Amino acid sequence: MILFVIKRFALAVTTVFVVSVLVFLLVHAGDTTPGVVAVGIGGTQEQIEAYNEQIGWYDPLIVQYLAWLGSALTGDLGTSLTNGSDVLDEILRRFPVTASLAFGATVVSSVLGVVLGVTAAVRRGLADRLVSVFAGMGAAVPAFWLGIVLVFVFAVQSSLLPATGYVRFEDSPSGWFSSLVLPVLTLAIGGAAFIARQTRASMLEALGQEYIRTLRATAMPTWRILYVHALRSASLPIVASIALQFIALFGGSIIVEVLFALPGLGVAVQGAVGQADAPAVQGIVVVATLVVVVVNLLLELTNSFLDPKLRTS
Amino acid sequence: MSDTAAFPTRSSQRASRRPLQAPQALRTLLRSPLGMLGLAWLVVIVVASLTAPLWLPYPIEYQDFSAVLAGPSAAHLLGTDELGRDVLSRIFAAGAGSLITTFLAAVVAIGVALPLALIAAASSARIETIINRVTEIAMSIPALVIIIAVIGAVGTNLYLVMTCLGLLIAGGIYRVFVGQAKSLQSQLYVDAAEVDGLRPAMVSIRHILPNMATTIFVQFVLVFAIGLMLQAGLAFIGFGPQPPEPSWGGLIQSASKQIYVHPWLMVPTGLVLVFTVLGANAVADTLAGGQGAPPSQVALGPEARRRRRELKAAAPVAVESAPEGMLIVKGLTIGVDDGPELVSSVSFEVAPGTVLGVVGESGCGKTLTALSLVGLLPPGVNPREGSIRWGARDLARLDESGLAAIRGREIGFVGQEPMRALDPMFTIGYQLAGAVRRLRGVGKADARAEAASLLGKVGIVDAERVLRSYPHQISGGMAQRVAIALALAGRPKLLIADEPTTALDVTVQAEILSLLRGLVAETGMSMVMVTHDFGVVADICDEVVVMYAGQVIESGTVHDVLGAAEHPYTTALLAADPHAGLGVVGQERLASIPGQVPQPRDWPTGCRFADRCAFAQPQCVVPVPLIARDRGDGGVRCVRVHELQLGRLDDPVPLDAATPVDGGADPTAPTTAAAPARNGKVRS
Amino acid sequence: MTAETLNAADVYAGIGDAPPPVLEIEDLVVRYGRGRAALAAPPAVDRVSLSIQPGETVGLVGESGSGKTTIGRAVLGLERVTSGSIRFNGRDVTNLSAKERRALGGDLRAVFQDPYSSLNPRLTIGSSLAEPLRIAGVTAADAAARAGAMLESVGLPADAAARYPRQFSGGQRQRIAVARALITNPSLVICDEPVSALDLSTQAQVLNLLADLRAERKLSYLFIAHDIGVVGFLAQRVVVLYRGQVMESGPAANVTTAPVHPFTQALTAASPVPRPAEQAARRAAREASGVKTAGNADFAGVGCPFAARCPLATELCRTERPPLRAVGGSLAACHYAEEAAARPIA
Ligand SMILES: Nc1ncnc2c1ncn2[C@@H]1O[C@H](COP(=O)(O)OP(=O)(O)O)[C@@H](O)[C@H]1O
Ligand code: SF4
Ligand code: SF4
Ligand SMILES: [Mg+2]
């Protein structure tokens, strides 16, 4: 078990490292040098080169990467080329927005997905068919399209909720909540569809196992068989699918942030890429990966704890 | 990426291990309306998009200033956009680019994942671990974020972007493939090919790959769906093909700008995208659906309601109650709802303190008969006629709550597969103490103590350690003891055991049989022992019924049936038993029965054994009743029983232990020692 | 343990003019897994030696997990041999590569236990049968003709070649597997539990078929089974395994009717016979013999592996591994085989 935790941890660290190298290389592969961005439209070739020289752009890649890694490990992700702000500060400022969105969507999609999946598996019949229609649609409707439809229905037609924008929790908890409802829903539906399918399949798989017969033979009430034993068996693949879903969700939040004009990391990365703001791109991507990897690690440890075979090894 | 259905999880991996055959897969697809619809839509969209230049009503940049932001009309079937361009034309003009690049993503993902999976499955554990780690890293990278970084570096080159997507998604696809490839690699036909010296690469190509065809196709379609969504999403946030070149995502993005003015514009492109993804998923689902989970062991939803209704509607049949502790089965017929009959008019009795053996080859209905005695038939399979009398109740007509009151408390059940009979997620102590509490209504602490003493009773010495263990931590023999302890938790008066020793080593089987025999003697409970082994019958049973193709074909005391079998099937089966000759050497041939047990749908109306019977005559084609046996109590289902007098042959077993045979080791010795083969009549 | 006492061929095949054995396994050791933990555990196959003469059938019996299948797979080259040697028709075949195995030209073949996984569902019976011939370079037409003939000799219609495995029952598939094994005219066939997945009536059919083909073609079998009754039917010599070690080996008559090793005695006594009165006596004898439960008795790797269950075990048994030595007409690995042989057993 301890060995398992160590191995997973090592893998998580490797993942972040690999991504940081990848992004570093990508940033350097572009044909826009930082100087061009930092100096701006009117800058001369000399000014640009001077800037590049100053930040060490012409150093060997490995030297540059190590320099970046060194300062990143001390919490310095550099400064933005476009507005000179500290990248880490910018990330920290935007993080709550994306975090609220991603975690909100994860919670909503997990709860919704598990409830629907269990209902479909247990009730079969009409409920099952309705859930599978939902799961099919949820998997097929792109988040942005769904978002637009939601905005149209709840904001444009009925003004129940704000169409776009973000209210900070500190400013108004209720405003914060209503500013997040539509984005979270938009992001959560697809995930809920995926988790519902997985839950349904895992429940049915569990209910087909022979030990269910033993439970019936010892007069265990049906509800306990369904909601204690079958669900417990199904919990492993369900948590695994939630972990996978989180990865997709975190990426998907970019689209939702753009759609709802939320000042989160997604919008930032969109902007940074659009403007070739190398330090910002690099910083945000690495931090985003770090978050995904950490959450994933936690879910995986949860799963290994849920699995008696792993726990007792 | 809002759809990750291509990513595997434990159960989808398991399901994918049951590959469909290619023609079978196609048939599955053609039989499902949804799958057909999905396939049809995909074909239409692909063909229409690729041939778009040939039939489009308007050039894509043609602007109709008389109809800006118009709704559907005869001139513009799907309306026009803010520049008066025809939406229909733009959708299909955009289709080719979107579809081809997405196709590329799928090709890359499969093209990377498949060889990796084949290599991992065929190589050593070390190489597999390396590949696994690399793919796990790829799986935990947020793909969209990286792809946006790629776009930042190289611009919106869709071919490159979709190649990246393919690479990033390949990790997930690999997980699906490797599970299946590994299970295929462990198939014995792969071993056989390796013995022949077939090259590893050829083994993969010839024996692994073709069996993965369906899975590959399913994953291909799923990646295609993901790619389509992702591409649209990218275009929406401005990383798509640059306008004016149309793309589906771009169309949606410009439509979203008009949402307050002209919401209709959202509809056509959105729907085309949705339907295409739906279609792809429907095709994948239909193909993968043929590999579904095992049928549920609990009646759920409509099935449960239907059974309840039927029981309520059925006229109450007056059955006289059976004497205390006596089980009386009369004319029991079991069948699949709206399907074939599986067990036909079975009758027997089990007196208190006795053991009844139910013996026969597999598929003869032994298990179903046993399960019906505890009301544990699988959903959709139910008693049709006859009665199972236990006290004042008829178990064939009892509902779930009535059965729950009997299960465990009055009638216990032990199954064939001890390792699968226990819930792997809970400790043995939890499961056993839970059963004790439920069945005896005692408190938590008492239940635990009782659980320990039950384990002692079934011969487990270190009860405390076993109570703390999970099922995977104990051996098969141990697990069967635990299963027996579970069945005994409610102190039942009758124990139904379905092949409880078949999966165990003979030495362990002997121990379990001794244990069961001891329990019967000690507690006075009775038992129904299902088995295919006449040795087990001889060891533990008092009475026996022999089943063939859903019927009882012979019954009587163990002494009569094993010592003087009267039915041609029983005699032949006994003669085929190599254990009959145990302690006897030099036996050159076993008597054997030609052919095999017929499937329920192939049962003839006459004697069901006639096809294989050495004594079959024209008179055997009529339905055969159970006739009183020649000697002793019980019945024989053979019209010629009195005429054949098989039971009166001085020795119905082909070779008796006393026959002097030399221990000849010469394999070429003439095979004359024993009965002529394929002749039910042994020893002339 | 001396080499002399181990060479079963010398003991049984008559001294001197015996033909060279088809198969000679010497001191075979197979370990699963890598790393320190795997090395600490006793190996799956532990210094096993056995030989098979031309035309002879040697039965390999033991409980599940005793190493029977591993030995068969090692001979076939499907499992890496840790140490020891395997000679086939005088040629060293230990750890052969695919290419070297091809060079054997189908002289060494196998029939496996599970009739459902031993045929590729995607290939017709005909192409499954032809595969080994094609690998050996036979033309497609010749291979097809031989496949048809082979199917008939195992009692299936020649047109079965055009059909797929799913169209056949378990017993028929096992006949096909036998046909596939014999199509290259091998001298040795490894049969790994070929009938244990079958019902009694089909089991008898396949056992008879194996016996007939052996007589017809002068085949040798290494016949692996957990069921001593089945082994006793087909084998001339029987080797009994326990936890990877040979406990007893000798003529089938001796081993099945007059075993001298306490484990073999436990094994034969536990196998029930379908005659109630006789079985009652056997059971009583077994219960009186004092064999202890298999339970979870772990074997640390020293002494006699059966010591934890053996009624005769002493301190010597727990500390010193008994050598395989001649006792009566058999070889037995037991310090007290003479005492064991003298006990009344069923
Ligand atoms: N749930 C089921 N649905 C349909 N057919 C079944 C089901 N379970 C068993 N059968 C069929 O019923 C027959 C008898 O099965 P079973 O009772 O398992 O026989 P046995 O225990 O003697 O091997 C077989 O042909 C089997 O395929
Ligand atoms: S009724 Fe006829 S076919 Fe059936 S078992 Fe008797 S003799 Fe054979
Ligand atoms: S060596 Fe000892 S423990 Fe082993 S079988 Fe012989 S008597 Fe029993
Ligand atoms: Mg059965």
pLDDT digits (tens, 9 = 90+) for B13-36: 333 334 445 566 677 777 778 888
Domain final residue, candidates B259, B288, B317: B288
C325 pLDDT band (50/70/90 cuts)? very high
What is the C-alpha to C-alpha distance for residues B591 and B584, in angstroms, rounded to an integer?
15
Distance of CA C292 from the midpoint of ligand 3 (Å): 12
Measured in angstroms, how far is the CA atom of residue B363 from the centroid of ligand 1?
6
Residues B316 and B254 in one domain: no
Q: Whose CA is nearest to atom 1 of ligand 2?
A: B638
Ligand 3 atom with the smallest distance to the CA of C263 is 5
Q: Residue A33 domain-assigned?
A: no
Q: Which of B139, B274, B486 comes nearest A214 by C-beta?
A: B486
The pLDDT-based confidence of B677 (bands split at 50, 70, 90) is very low
Instruction: Please answer yes or no on whether B671 and C215 come within 8 Å at the CB atom.
Output: yes
Q: Tell me what pLDDT residue A29 has.
A: 78
> For a pLDDT cut of 90, what percent of chain A falls above it?
24
Q: Is B680 in the pocket of ligand 1 (CB under 6 A)?
A: no
CB B458 near ligand 2, within 6 Å? no
Residue appearing with tokens 């990330």: A91
Residue B438 lies in a domain: yes
How far, in Å, CA of A133 to CA of A227, rounded?
24
Residue B62: inside a domain = no
pLDDT in tens, B256-284: 777 777 878 878 888 888 899 888 888 88
A184-236 pLDDT, tens digit per residue, is 999 999 999 999 999 999 999 999 999 999 999 999 999 999 999 999 999 99
Provide the pLDDT for residue A313.
72
Nearest chain B residue to C135 by CA: give it.
B198
Q: How many Cα atoms are found within 13 Å in the side-chain-facing hemisphere of B479?
A: 24
In this structure, the strands spanning C237-242 and B635-636 are: unpaired
- Chain B residues whose CB is inside 8 A of the C275 CB are 538, 562-563, 580, 653, 657
Confirm whether A168 is domain-assigned: yes
| Assigned domain for A194 exists | yes
**Is the CB of residue B548 below 6 angstroms from any atom belonging to ligand 2?**
no
Q: Which of A100, A291, A106, A298 is nearest to A191 (CA)?
A: A106
pLDDT (tens digit per residue) in A238-260: 998 898 888 888 888 888 998 88
Residues C160-181 pLDDT 10s: 899 999 888 888 899 999 999 9
The pLDDT assigned to C345 comes to: 61
**What is the mean pLDDT of the segment spanning C89-93?**
91
CB B288 within 8 A of CB B216: no
Residue A107, C-beta contacts closer than 8 angstroms, at least 6 positions apart: none
pLDDT range class, residue C8, cuts 50, 70, 90: very low
The answer to whether the beta carbons of residues B453 and B460 sit under 8 Å apart is: no
Question: Which atom of ligand 3 is the closest one to the Cα of C261?
Answer: 5
Ligand 2 mean position, distance from CA A254 (Å):
76
Strand-pair partners of C29: C83
Tell me how close the Cα of A228 comes to any Cα of chain B, in angstroms.
10
Cβ of residue C332 lying under 6 Å from some atom of ligand 3 = no
Model confidence pTM above 0.80: yes
**Distance of alpha carbon B579 from the chain centroid:** 32
Q: Which of C27, C28, C119, C8 is closest to C77 using CA atoms? A: C28
| A137 vs C125: CA distance, rounded Å | 44
Helix ranges restricted to H, B237-291: 248-257, 266-289
What is the 8-class DSSP label of residue B397? G
Say if B551 falls within a structural domain. Answer: no
Touching check for C62 and chain B: CB below 8 Å? no
In angstroms, what is the span from residue C233 Cα to ligand 3's centroid?
27
Chains meeting C at 3+ CB pairs closer than 8 A? B
B306 C-alpha vs ligand 4 centroid, how far in Å?
Answer: 27
Cβ of C243 below 6 Å from ligand 3: no
Q: Which ligand is nearest to the CA of B368?
A: 1
Q: Across residues C198-217, what is the average pLDDT? A: 88
- The residue behind tokens 């003709």 is C145
**Within this chain, do residues B509 and B379 fall inside the same structural domain, yes or no?**
yes
List all residues of chain C from 313 to 332 with a beta carbon under 8 Å from chain B.
none
Residues B417 and B368 in one domain: yes
pLDDT at B674 over 50: no
Task: Kindly state the tokens that stand for A81.
Answer: 């080329």
Name the one residue in this structure whose structure tokens are 């009183």. Answer: B628
pLDDT of residue B581: 60
Residues listed for chain A: 313
Residue A135 lies in a domain: yes
Nearest chain B CA: its distance from A237 CA (Å)? 6
How many domains are contained in chain B?
A: 3
Tell me the mean pLDDT in the region B365-383. 93
Q: Is B638 in the pocket of ligand 2 (CB under 6 A)?
A: yes
- CB-nearest to A144 from B236, B298, B483 is B236
pLDDT of residue B303: 80
Note whether B7 contacts A211, CB cutoff 8 Å.
no
pLDDT reading at B137 higher than 70? yes
Question: pLDDT value at position B8?
Answer: 35
Residue A157: which CATH number? 1.10.3720.10
Enclosing domain of residue A166? 87-274
Number of domains in chain A: 1
Question: Is A39 a member of any domain?
Answer: no
The verdict on a CB contact (< 8 Å) between B510 and C99 is no
| B207, closest residue in chain C (CA to CA) | C120
Nearest-neighbour CA in chain C from B96: distance (Å)? 36
Is residue B244 reached through a cis peptide bond, with omega within 30 degrees of 0 on the bond before it?
A: yes
Contacts of A238 (CB under 8 A, 6+ apart): A114, A117, A195, A198, A199, A202
Confidence at residue B5, expressed as pLDDT on a 0 to 100 scale: 34
Neighbours of C35 (CB within 10 A): 7
> How far does CA A165 lie from the centroid of its chain?
20
Q: How far, in Å, CA of A107 to CA of A89, rounded? A: 27
**Which among A125, A226, A252 has the least Cβ separation from residue B144?**
A252
Least confident of B55-64, B527-536, B613-622, C254-263: B55-64
Expressed as residue numbers, the domain containing B193 is: 24-50+93-288
**Which of B230, B253, B288 lies at the terminal end of a domain, its last residue?**
B288
- Give the model confidence (pLDDT) of B340-357 as tens digits: 999 999 999 999 999 999
Report if residue B7 sits inside a domain: no
Residue B478 domain flag: yes
Residue B681, Cα to own-chain centre: how many angstroms? 39
Q: Which of A290-294, B661-665, C47-51, C113-117 has the lowest mean pLDDT?
A: B661-665
How far, in Å, CA of C195 to CA of C192, rounded? Answer: 9
Q: What is the mean pLDDT of residues B628-647?
A: 88
Answer positive or negative: Cα dihedral of A184, A185, A189, A195: positive
Q: Please, which residues have CB within 8 angstroms of residue B314's CB and are 6 or more apart in sequence?
A: B397
Confidence of residue B671 (pLDDT cuts 50, 70, 90): very low
Are B262 and B341 in a shared domain? no
A15 with B438: Cβ contact below 8 A = no
Confirm or reject contact between B354 and chain A (CB < 8 A).
Answer: no
Which ligand 3 atom sits closest to the C-alpha of C304? 4
What is the domain class of C3-107+186-341 according to CATH? alpha beta
**Of A42-51, C240-249, C320-329, minimum mean pLDDT range:** A42-51
Q: Pick the most confident of B18-32, B418-432, C194-208, C291-305.
A: B418-432
The answer to whether residues B153 and A29 touch, using CB atoms and an 8 Å cutoff, is yes
Structural domain includes residue B75: no
pLDDT for the residue numbered B293: 67
CB contacts of B361 in chain C (<8 Å) are 199-201
Residue B497 beta carbon below 6 angstroms from any ligand 1 atom: no
Distance in angstroms (rounded) separating the CA atoms of residues B677 and C204:
10
Q: Which residue puts its alpha carbon closest to atom 25 of ligand 1?
A: B363
Kindly state whether residues B190 and B115 are assigned to the same domain: yes
Asked whether B616 lines ligand 2 (CB < 6 A), one says yes
Lowest mean pLDDT among A157-166, B193-202, B552-561, C124-133: A157-166
Residue B197's SS3 state is coil
Final residue before a domain boundary, out of B288, B321, B349:
B288
Angle at B664 between CA B661 and CA B665, to 5 degrees: 150
Query: What is the whole-number distance in angstroms between the Cα of residue B456 and the centre of ligand 3?
Result: 28
Rounded to the nearest angstrom, the distance between the alpha carbon of B366 and the centre of ligand 2 is 21
Contact C173/C118 with Cβ under 8 angstroms? yes
User: Is there a single domain that holds both residue B619 and residue B487?
Assistant: no
CA pair distance A31, A44, nearest whole angstrom:
17
Give percent of chain C above pLDDT 90.
53
Placement of tokens 């590329």 in the chain:
B104
pLDDT tens digits, residue range A6-50? 888 898 899 899 989 988 888 887 777 777 777 777 777 888 788
Q: Which residue has the higher pLDDT, B663 or A136?
A: A136
For ligand 3, mutation pick of C309, C318, C319, C335 (most atoms within 8 Å of CB):
C335
CA distance B441 to B435: 9
| B364 Cα: distance to centroid of ligand 2 (angstroms) | 17
CATH number, domain of B231, equals: 1.10.3720.10
Mutating to test ligand 3, I would choose from C247, C291, C312 the residue with most ligand atoms within 8 A of its C-beta, which is C312
pLDDT at position B683: 31
Burial of C221 (0-12, 13-18, 19+ CB in 10 A): buried
Q: Do B532 and B603 have their domain in common?
A: no
Is A138 a member of any domain? yes
Residues 232-251 (C) with a CB less than 8 A from some CB of B: 232-233, 236-237, 251
Residue ranges of domains in chain C:
3-107+186-341, 118-184
* Tokens 């232990």, located at residue: B657
B17 located within any domain: no
From the candidates C191, C233, C249, C255, which should be mutated to test the interface with B, based on the most B CB atoms within 10 A?
A: C233
Q: Is residue B465 part of a domain?
A: yes
Residue C116: exposure state from Cβ atoms within 10 A (0-12, 13-18, ≥19): middle
- CA-based nearest distance A37→chain B, Å: 13
Q: For residues C56 and C220, is the Cβ–Cβ distance under 8 A?
A: yes
**Do both B652 and B567 map to the same domain?**
yes
Q: Flag if B470 and A308 touch (Cβ within 8 Å).
A: yes
Read out DSSP for A235-288? HHHHHHHHHHHHHHHHHHHHHHHHHHT--SHHHHHHHHHHTT-HHHHHHHHHHH
CA pair distance B143, B157, nearest whole angstrom: 16
